[in-house]
A and B are shown apart, each in its own frame.
Chain A
Amino acid sequence: MVAIAPTVKVKRRRAKADDGVLTVGRSRAGTIAANTAGVVFAVLMLFPVYWVLNTAFKPADEVLALEPSFFPQHPTLDNFVSAFKAPLFLKDMLNGVIVTLLAVAGALVVGFLAALAIARFSFYGRKAIILVVLVVQLVPFLSLLIPLFLMLQSAELTNSLIGVSITYLVLILPYTVWTLRGFISGIPRELDEAALIDGCTRAQVFWRIILPLTGPGLVATSVYGFIQAWNEFIIINTLNSPDKQNLMAWLLQNQTTRGTAWGPLMAGAIITSIPVVIFFLIIQRNIATGLTAGAVKG
């Protein structure tokens, strides 16, 4: 349940893809061997992904064939249609969107303020706050499920989207604070000071310098939060009934008493993954753009 990437990685992405590649003392045969190994590795990595796609486009009788075919013989969209028509699929999709957006928006606002405090102020207790943020990121959230469940239940917040949204907010908050802190302290303090000398107020510094410059950081952080919240299913599956769950929980339970419907399940898995994959690609680009890109425009 801990955020997947530490800041180390986010920052490191700035390095250009190609620098530092050693060219001295390399044999052609070595390169060919390395390339072959690289391609084999990539193909192996992709095999499961290919297999979902393959399954999802097969008609039901081909899915459950004792001799699986490596390409759908009669490609069909039935499984996707079936997933969309499935009870609660659309409802759970909407729930997922609502819960995720609420959590991300909340975490962003609250987290940004806290990050600002840590990154731009020096005060007694600062280290303690940092420590808290780091520690709570590591507490296995699952172990808190029992008391969380009891707590939300006595607040009448189980089986509600609000309860889950708040939980997710807190789930992604430490990561958000931590990452935004990195982005904010990446903005040269001279910019603040110059602006202050130019007669800006503290608030103006915030609105005109810090906020615009952390733009890419906010995007990257919120997308990461989005992925975390979107992918979560254990909490929502335990707290809420099926009509108040998200697509992940739907996927977990899309099996009837009459066995697993693998075709629609795999189609559902693809639909569920698409937003995540897209957002994932977005952060890659945004982080690559760098922290100070866009400079001061406000």
Chain B
Amino acid sequence: MSVVETPTTRPAAKPPAAHVRPPKKSRNRTPWLLALPALLLIAGLLGYPLIRMVVLSFQNMRLRELLSGRTPPWVGFDQYSKVLSDGVFWAVVGRTVAFTVASVLISVLVGLGIALLMRRVSRGVRLFMVVAMMFVWALPQLVAAQIFRWMTDSDFGVVNYLIDKIPGVDYANHSWFVNPWQGWSVITTLVVWAGIPFLAITLNAGLTQVPKELLEAATVDGASPWQALRNITLPILKPLIMIVTTLSVIWNFGLFTQAWVLRDGHPEPSFQTLATYSYTQAFGQSRYSLGSAIAVITVLLMLGVMVFYIRQMFRIGEVE
């Protein structure tokens, strides 16, 4: 099993020439001038709002202040203590985390499975799979969510109709959002369904980087397909899996559209995520400061994952 020792650590097909002669660091002003417009825009529309968000979370801004333009009263850490001492908030956090873990795990496993399956099927079938996935991938998130809302409608939805066809099962007028577990399984299905194309196609592309000779040699040596997968394929694929998993975590943690649309723009408490919760507090209930405090906490919660992602990007040499 000496073959196992040779995984390429760099899955990206990198143009080799780019590194031939790293030029000396210059004190030239040109690069800064080039980057300046982008940096200014980022500072103005991402950096400044970020600061303002933090400032806002220490004030108490309501509709009255919004309409009159008056300075909202300063309240120190009141918004935070209000949020952090609220059981509802912690339930939302727990729900968001649980959903993220479950949906990412399912998406990545299914995505990997499909990627492997794509290596095994005939060319025509593979093409069919890719085309199907492309369509799903290309669908705007909102449209996808609307479709699922329509399909799971309790009165006219095709899902109930089909399940009801199974003998002995009464799913006529079944409401999918009575039971949060069922409701969340609809949302998770939607998220996984929409996420698979990106994962499967990316991972499949990664699989093409696994040297064929290595796998063939292993098979000749009597390794089972499972052993080959575990000892050859997965180690080579690992950096890529890390990246797509981290990205999925970041996306799914910020779940908004799907919960929002499937619950018709007013998610019940059991369907609130951090994103919808912050949004409804701010824009629904005009508690702009409370919403900001929740957003600040959300960003802080995400920080660990972000740092991990950036470190990964540096490690696999994406950042040179």
| Chain A positions near chain B (C-beta within 8 angstroms) | 1-2, 4-9, 11-22, 24-26, 30-31, 34-35, 37-39, 41-43, 45-46, 48-49, 51-52, 55, 63-68, 110-111, 113-114, 116-118, 120-127, 129-136, 138-140, 142-148, 150-151, 154, 166-167, 169-170, 173-174, 177, 185-190, 227, 230-231, 233-234, 238, 248, 251-252, 262, 265-266, 269, 272-273, 276-277, 280-281, 284, 291
Question: Could you tell me if A144 and B50 are in contact, using CB atoms closer than 8 angstroms?
Answer: yes
**Alpha-carbon distance between A177 and B141 when the two chains are bound, in angstroms:** 24
**Alpha-carbon distance between A280 and B133 when the two chains are bound, in angstroms:** 12
Q: What are the interface flags for B112-146 relative to A under an 8 Å C-beta threshold, 1 for contact and 0 otherwise?
A: 00100111111101101101111111111111101
Interface size classification for chain B:
35 or more
Which of A1, A45, A125 has its CB near the most chain B CB atoms (within 10 A)?
Answer: A45
**Alpha-carbon distance between A187 and B225 when the two chains are bound, in angstroms:** 39
A147 with B13: in contact, given A24-B219, A111-B38 (CB under 8 Å)? no
**Alpha-carbon distance between A26 and B216 when the two chains are bound, in angstroms:** 11
Question: Could you tell me if A1 and B41 are in contact, using CB atoms closer than 8 angstroms?
Answer: no
Question: Could you tell me if A14 and B198 are in contact, using CB atoms closer than 8 angstroms?
Answer: no
Chain B residue nearest to A167 in the complex (CB): B45
| Chain B positions near chain A (C-beta within 8 angstroms) | 11-15, 17-18, 20-28, 30-32, 34-35, 37-39, 41-42, 44-46, 48-50, 52-53, 56, 66, 69, 114, 117-123, 125-126, 128-129, 131-144, 146-148, 150-151, 155-156, 158, 161, 193, 196-198, 201-202, 205-212, 215-216, 219-220, 225, 240, 243, 247, 250-251, 253-254, 256-257, 261, 265, 275, 278-279, 282-283, 288, 291-292, 295-296, 298-299, 302, 306, 309-310, 313, 316, 318-320
Contacts of A187 in B (CB 8 A): 15
Chain A residue nearest to B276 in the complex (CB): A142
Among A8, A49, A145, the residue within 8 A (CB) of B11 is A8
CB distance from B211 to the nearest CB of A (A): 7
Contacts of B117 in A (CB 8 A): 34, 37-38, 41
Question: Could you tell me if A136 and B143 are in contact, using CB atoms closer than 8 angstroms?
Answer: no
Question: Could you tell me if B279 and A145 are in contact, using CB atoms closer than 8 angstroms?
Answer: yes
Question: Could you tell me if A2 and B250 are in contact, using CB atoms closer than 8 angstroms?
Answer: yes
Count contacts between A and B, CB distance < 8 Å. Answer: 335
**Alpha-carbon distance between A269 and B126 when the two chains are bound, in angstroms:** 28
Question: Could you tell me if A52 and B147 are in contact, using CB atoms closer than 8 angstroms?
Answer: yes
Question: Could you tell me if A231 and B17 are in contact, using CB atoms closer than 8 angstroms?
Answer: no
Contacts of B24 in A (CB 8 A): 122
Interface of chain A: mostly helix, strand, loop or mixed: helix
Can you identify 23 A-B contacts, CB atoms within 8 angstroms?
A2-B247, A12-B202, A34-B120, A38-B125, A45-B196, A64-B156, A114-B37, A132-B42, A133-B42, A139-B50, A140-B250, A146-B53, A146-B283, A150-B288, A185-B320, A227-B138, A234-B257, A251-B143, A251-B146, A252-B261, A266-B147, A272-B140, A291-B15
